[in-house]
Structure 1
Amino acid sequence: MKRMPSSPPVPLVSVLMPTFKQASFLPRALESLLAQTWQDWELVVVDDGSPDDTAEVLQPFLSDPRIRFTRLDRNVGLGAALNHATELARGRYLAYLPSDDVYYPEHLETLVGVLEADAGVDLAYGGLRWGYHHYGPTLRGKVAVGREAEVLALPPEGKEQPTSGNLLALVQVMHRRSPHWPRWTERAERVSDSLEADFWRSLLEAGARFAYAGDITCEWVNHPDQRSHIIAGIPGGLSRYRAHYGIGRGEYLNFQPSRGMRVNEWERYGRFAEATRPHRPDSLKILVVGSLGFNPERLLALEERGHRLYGLWSPDPETWDATAPFPYGHIEDIPLDEHWPERVRAVQPDLIYALLNLQALPLIERVLDARLGIPLVFHFKEGPFPSDGLWPSLMRVLRESDGQIFISPENREWYRLALGGQLDESRTLILDGDLPRQDWMTDAWSPKLSHADGQIHTVCAGRPLGLEPLSALAENGIHVHFYGTHFHEWFPNWTRTGLESGFLHLHPTVEPQDWVAELSRYDAAWVQQFTSHNRGDLRRAAWDDLNLPARLSTYAAAGLPWIMRDNRHSLVAMQTLAQELGFGIFYRDFAALAAQLRDRPRLEEQTANARAARHLFAFDTHVGELLTFFRRILATQPFSATAQVALPQGDD
């Protein structure tokens, strides 16, 4: 009779190692596990679809029968990888060793000792080192020991604590297995840097008891590609998260960081899920280079007219800035690796559309350096600025681009002067660089709050720059409704003072689909408040004089007049625009502002003007003009194949 091989013994401890794109960290983490004084363990490695050489790095370690390796076909996120590893684990106790972290030799033995000594303890944790400078029992210090549930319910205090309020890093924890414990939150539900904190809270709510082991036994390694940094760090945010984890078209995220811009992509962009790209024989191939600011969905208007888009994106966008991959649309992304010039040449785009902010300049220069022989149009949103050392890059891009788009006549003139007058205005266009889609400009108007209570209600959907002192606003009976949870967090002292006055009211971030219904309740809206000193000379102009902030379109969608300090003695782009369209409320002091806001007939006239002009703040309104400008630039480039394509009447 043939004897069957015996199954490996069931270990007491299952160590779970989720890993993604961290091959360089793996040997250190694995060595620290192999060096444990407690040897009755198994390691369950779940590779969450890494594109690097993770499998090759792991191969020498797989000769140890205690190490098991599973590779997922695609990246599914940390929560799902942890749930998968938990299902594969066989041990009585679960410990965690993220592939970028480190155990000290006594870590497992110390935590096993706590759980074995007291059957009433469900989760044991060792102290940890992090950032090479900090030591302690928890990420929030000694105060949390024995008060874990209480401390997890408190906001974080101090710059050295995680903004998510997390208490325990995965690496420091060991807990009992139980079919009654909750599962980890998966990416399909929510993306947040509070993943661990939420799990600890759910364990405590299920009745788990925590205990500190009394010693520093591990290390939480701090580096820029940590998941928490990618989600809520600087740089970090939604665009960086999608790019890092390769989350492509069709996957919509509920992105809820502890700090920064929050968005439920399906609620905001789900309406574009079925968008098609019609075929047109004379369509342009447009390579978008850089980043897209606040309203990336505007590019769908180009696809809807049959044009094909490709993307070469800035590698480290700001938290608020948008780069692909996007869940909607059909943009074909070109990886920014050593082969990107060859890939661009293979695509043979007709035109490069380079935009939008200061941070994109290094990438745009790389494109110029590649000498691709493709006409480049540069669309620049920024006003004058010190440029953080990028002034030579900016001047070069302005000189070498084939066409330039500026956000206002004032900006164009400022840069003409900066170039010593050497700017061919026939090759320029005036167009705000960050306009939203027409979709958000609904007719879901709401009654004014002021009609119901007779008071003045204003709104600030953005940074409250210059709204001081709040006491003066309250004295003049001006209510301010402040939107954006992340803005509340960025201005805690201002927010606290305003709440004490009784005239500040906090609201969560308003989504584009709700701009009209939510914001049209107010009388007028605050833009940046400042006093200009340029006296009509653009050489004296500062950033605020020439900036057109993104919130202008939000307010325009809701038909709101703009509130701004009276700078008619100077050249200020926002003020010029508001005067031309007839919906600016200009003031010298808050008493004069209150008087204007109480002038109901005049306010109703300004509101009507704002509603009539709001289509000017939609990208769809201008897309034909933009495409005509592209074709005009192409017609002057003899090396472009598109130069031979006639523009049919009414094409765009």
Structure 2
Amino acid sequence: MSSSPLVSVLMPTFRQATFLPRALESLLAQSWEDWELIVVDDGSPDDTAAAVRPYLADPRIHYHQLDRNVGLGAALNHATALAGGQYLAYLPSDDLYYPDHLERLVGALEVDPGAELAYGGVRWAYQHAGPTLRGPGAVGREAASLGLPPEHQAQPTSGNLLALVQVMHRRTARLPRWTERTERVSDTLEADFWRELLDGGARFAYAGAVTCEWMSHPDQRHRIIAGVPGGLSRYRAHYGIGQGEYLNFQPSRGMRVNEAERYGRFAGRDLSPRPGGLKILLVGSLGFNPERLLALEERGHRLYGLWSPDPETWDATGPFPYGHIGTLPLDGDWADRVRALQPDLIYALLNWQALPLIGRVLDARLGIPLVFHFKEGPFICHEQGLWPTLVRVLKESDGQIFISPENREWFRLALGGGLDEARTFILDGDLPKLDWFTEDWSPKHSRADGQIHTVCAGRPLGLEPLSELARQGIHVHFYGTHFQEWFPNWTRQGLESGLLHLHPTVEPQDWVRELSRYDAAWVQQFSSDNGGDLRRAHWDDLNLPARLGTYAAAGLPWIMRDNRTSLVAMQTLAQQHDFGIFYRDFADLGAQLRDRSRLEDLTAHARAARRLFAFDTHADGLLNFFSRILASAVPAASRLGQP
């Protein structure tokens, strides 16, 4: 065996100590023995070092521990720099090789000097196997296959062609660098690397047999980024990314955000605690527009977070790149940490997914007043078996915040009158921060072409049939790449009509400039049948979608079905401020949108009321409510140890 091995196997690993022995044993069982293993421990907080230690007796195995997690791309670049082999192979610590894997891939490269990369077939999710993640049809057509959408639900949404574990390639001067977290976070990391190789003229070769296994489990990187559940909050929490570190988060599917562009404006603000400021522990998650809570820090209050462990793709939990919200680990000692922190108040929020954690906090009997802010949704709590928890939290919390008077009344009826209205407050849970309410107005499209231009910046619920809208000459501008992916059939049919126009997601800093050019905005479209009786209400009647704040910032009238014989929270708001367009059918809507004088009045009313839809406008009222709850709460000493 040569002093410099032919094959360097790269093993980036993070929080996978329990998987490691299986992967390492599979390498030791290889029929090809001329290899070295470069293990790069990417700042793992678990027992990774202990799991690797017994294997270091083999001089071919080298262990390198990074001080902190830097991400898969950087870990791969680090391992590549340490490798000495002519060929590079990959063994992620949750995958494994079959005994002939290295021998077959070396053979494929040796027999075909023109091939730059060889791959073995892969087994995945225990029940699928093939030459590639895209099936046998991709063999010899790798470049074309990478440009096609994925065809099988077991595959990553990125449309990847090859899992890392399958691959061995030559170490050449034109070898690309792996994209690092400081540049972009995406589940397309591998696919982008293969594509760059192919674009550079590389040719791939299949080794002719299934030689390895790609493990499927919830903590796979691509699932953390673009899976369900997955998304930005889960990624930040899983990899321990703290304050001050901005990510350019670009999943293949789901909500995308460049945090530096969106939140960089908040850096450098004076968020110092002030005398008399409260120490507030946030429990749960923040839904949309989490930066709104900077308004509390700007007023001199200190915030901490105990976050739900598995947030939805769209939901926001810390750590955040902006502000000073301190994150408390949700581990076996969390209750002791809260007691040591001694917050003045617990602010528990926001959606049904947070209820299990909020219930645990109540059960801990911490002796700290708790205010519960609930957005959605009571009906899902029925379905998920969380209704008893919701009722208990409502009854045991010191104060309750509801998103609308309709919601408060619905819960009063549901609880048999068991609400003290003096201990309640009305505040929508997803209001955006006032910073996004700029004066950057744009001229209306309709002034230039005389046609009707509407906007939908969210799910296009009820915007059908599109043929009827087209007959009325109503253009719909549909914003949000991820929404367009979620509704492919509707989007395709709309494009065929010629009056649907697709736009990328509009960032908060561009809401006013981009969206103010339209005549009116679509909220969820539905026909209510509660007839004024909230006992008959469903969630559409009670809901205040997050897009309302976006539309308010841009000063847009709301388009909605005429439900004025029912109690509907969105409709109540639109009627209060006279910026609603209520229609019976699309012909009626077309007639109203062509009434330019009335439309200008509605737009003026929407602009006049828009600051009421910013969180900052209500921050002082919320803090006054907290103070009232604190003033009337049972002293902590008498609350400790309550049954």
Q: Which residue of 2 aligns with 1:608?
A: 604
Q: Which residue of 1 aligns with 2:236?
A: 242
**How much has 1:639 moved relative to structure 2?**
1.1
Q: Does 1:425 align with 2:416?
A: no
Q: Which residue of 2 aligns with 1:401?
A: 397
2:305 aligned to 294, 311, 314, which one? 311
User: In structure 1, how many angstroms separate the alpha carbons of the residues matched to 2:392 and 2:173?
Assistant: 63
Task: Report the residue type matching 2:90 in the other structure.
Answer: Y
Q: Which residue of 2 aligns with 1:618?
A: 614
User: In structure 2, how many angstroms separate the alpha carbons of the residues matched to 1:613 and 1:597?
Assistant: 20
2:162 aligned to 168, 183, 198, which one? 168
Once the two structures are superposed, the pairs formed by residues 88-487 of structure 1 within 5 Å of their partners are 88-387=82-381, 388-487=384-483
Task: Report the residue type matching 1:617 in the other structure.
Answer: F
User: In structure 2, how many angstroms separate the alpha carbons of the residues matched to 1:633 and 1:539?
Assistant: 29
User: In structure 2, how many angstroms separate the alpha carbons of the residues matched to 1:400 and 1:162?
Assistant: 43
**How much has 1:193 moved relative to structure 2?**
0.3
Partner SS for 1:385: helix
Q: Is 2:125–2:154's contact at 8 Å kept on the other side of the alignment?
A: no
**How much has 1:161 moved relative to structure 2?**
2.6
Residues 279 and 384 of structure 1, relative CA distance in 2, 3 Å threshold: closer
Q: Which residue of 1 aligns with 2:562?
A: 566
**How much has 1:413 moved relative to structure 2?**
0.2
**How much has 1:155 moved relative to structure 2?**
1.7
Partner SS for 2:518: coil
1:540 aligned to 518, 532, 536, which one? 536
1:116-141 deviation per Cα after TM superposition (whole angstroms, max 9, x unaligned)? 01100000000000000101000010
Q: Is 1:384–1:546's contact at 8 Å kept on the other side of the alignment?
A: no
Q: Which residue of 1 aligns with 2:526?
A: 530
Q: Which residue of 2 aligns with 1:649?
A: none
Task: Report the residue type matching 1:363 in the other structure.
Answer: L
Task: Report the residue type matching 1:171 in the other structure.
Answer: V
Partner SS for 2:582: strand
Q: Which residue of 1 aligns with 2:503?
A: 507
Q: Does 1:70 align with 2:64?
A: yes
Partner SS for 2:242: coil
User: In structure 1, how many angstroms separate the alpha carbons of the residues matched to 2:73 and 2:269?
Assistant: 30
User: In structure 2, how many angstroms separate the alpha carbons of the residues matched to 1:496 and 1:308?
Assistant: 48
User: In structure 1, how many angstroms separate the alpha carbons of the residues matched to 2:294 and 2:125?
Assistant: 43
User: In structure 1, how many angstroms separate the alpha carbons of the residues matched to 2:304 and 2:153?
Assistant: 40
Task: Report the residue type matching 1:100 in the other structure.
Answer: D
1:444-468 deviation per Cα after TM superposition (whole angstroms, max 9, x unaligned)? 0000000000000000000000000
User: In structure 2, how many angstroms separate the alpha carbons of the residues matched to 1:496 and 1:386?
Assistant: 31
**How much has 1:208 moved relative to structure 2?**
0.6
Partner SS for 1:127: strand
1:156-195 deviation per Cα after TM superposition (whole angstroms, max 9, x unaligned)? 2232332101000000000000121110000001000000
Q: Which residue of 1 aligns with 2:19?
A: 25
Q: Is 2:352–2:380's contact at 8 Å kept on the other side of the alignment?
A: no
1:194-222 deviation per Cα after TM superposition (whole angstroms, max 9, x unaligned)? 00000000000111100111100000000
Q: Which residue of 2 aligns with 1:519?
A: 515
**How much has 1:279 moved relative to structure 2?**
3.2
- Unpaired runs of 5+ in structure 1? 1-6, 644-652
User: In structure 2, how many angstroms separate the alpha carbons of the residues matched to 1:82 and 1:311?
Assistant: 33
User: In structure 1, how many angstroms separate the alpha carbons of the residues matched to 2:39 and 2:606?
Assistant: 58
Task: Report the residue type matching 1:265 in the other structure.
Answer: E
1:306-364 deviation per Cα after TM superposition (whole angstroms, max 9, x unaligned)? 11111000000000000001001101111000100000000000100000000000000
Task: Report the residue type matching 2:539 in the other structure.
Answer: W
Task: Report the residue type matching 1:182 in the other structure.
Answer: P
Once the two structures are superposed, the pairs formed by residues 613-652 of structure 1 within 5 Å of their partners are 613-640=609-636
Q: Which residue of 1 aligns with 2:577?
A: 581
How many positions carry a matched residue from both structures?
636
Partner SS for 2:245: coil
Partner SS for 2:310: coil
Residues 211 and 8 of structure 1, relative CA distance in 2, 3 Å threshold: closer
User: In structure 1, how many angstroms separate the alpha carbons of the residues matched to 2:440 and 2:151?
Assistant: 41
Task: Report the residue type matching 1:506 in the other structure.
Answer: L
Partner SS for 1:91: coil
TM-score, scaled to structure 1? 0.97
Q: Is 1:181–1:206's contact at 8 Å kept on the other side of the alignment?
A: no
Partner SS for 2:502: strand
1:446-498 deviation per Cα after TM superposition (whole angstroms, max 9, x unaligned)? 00000000000000000000000000000110000000000110000000000
Partner SS for 2:455: strand
Q: Is 2:280–2:304's contact at 8 Å kept on the other side of the alignment?
A: yes
Partner SS for 1:10: coil
Q: Which residue of 2 aligns with 1:4?
A: none
User: In structure 1, how many angstroms separate the alpha carbons of the residues matched to 2:307 and 2:325?
Assistant: 11
Q: Which moved more, 1:299-308 or 1:384-393?
A: 384-393
TM-score, scaled to structure 2? 0.98
Q: Is 2:292–2:431's contact at 8 Å kept on the other side of the alignment?
A: yes
Q: Is 1:350–1:640's contact at 8 Å kept on the other side of the alignment?
A: no
User: In structure 1, how many angstroms separate the alpha carbons of the residues matched to 2:418 and 2:68?
Assistant: 51
**How much has 1:384 moved relative to structure 2?**
3.6
Task: Report the residue type matching 2:626 in the other structure.
Answer: F
User: In structure 1, how many angstroms separate the alpha carbons of the residues matched to 2:190 and 2:14?
Assistant: 17
Q: Is 1:456–1:598's contact at 8 Å kept on the other side of the alignment?
A: yes
Q: Which residue of 2 aligns with 1:83?
A: 77
Q: Is 2:305–2:326's contact at 8 Å kept on the other side of the alignment?
A: yes
**How much has 1:154 moved relative to structure 2?**
1.4
Q: Which moved more, 1:240-249 or 1:152-161?
A: 152-161
1:40 aligned to 31, 34, 43, which one? 34
Partner SS for 1:421: coil
Partner SS for 2:349: strand
**How much has 1:143 moved relative to structure 2?**
1.0
Q: Is 1:634–1:640's contact at 8 Å kept on the other side of the alignment?
A: no
**How much has 1:278 moved relative to structure 2?**
2.4
Task: Report the residue type matching 1:600 in the other structure.
Answer: R
Partner SS for 2:209: strand
User: In structure 2, how many angstroms separate the alpha carbons of the residues matched to 1:161 and 1:396?
Assistant: 41
Q: Which residue of 2 aligns with 1:592?
A: 588
Q: Is 2:521–2:556's contact at 8 Å kept on the other side of the alignment?
A: yes
User: In structure 2, how many angstroms separate the alpha carbons of the residues matched to 1:201 and 1:433?
Assistant: 43
Partner SS for 2:490: helix
Q: % of aligned pairs identical? A: 79
Partner SS for 1:544: helix
1:488 aligned to 447, 472, 484, which one? 484
User: In structure 2, how many angstroms separate the alpha carbons of the residues matched to 1:580 and 1:414?
Assistant: 20
Q: Which residue of 2 aligns with 1:647?
A: none
**How much has 1:274 moved relative to structure 2?**
1.4
**How much has 1:383 moved relative to structure 2?**
4.4
**How much has 1:8 moved relative to structure 2?**
7.4
Q: CA RMSD in A?
A: 1.1
Partner SS for 1:225: coil
Task: Report the residue type matching 1:116 in the other structure.
Answer: E
Q: Is 1:383–1:546's contact at 8 Å kept on the other side of the alignment?
A: no
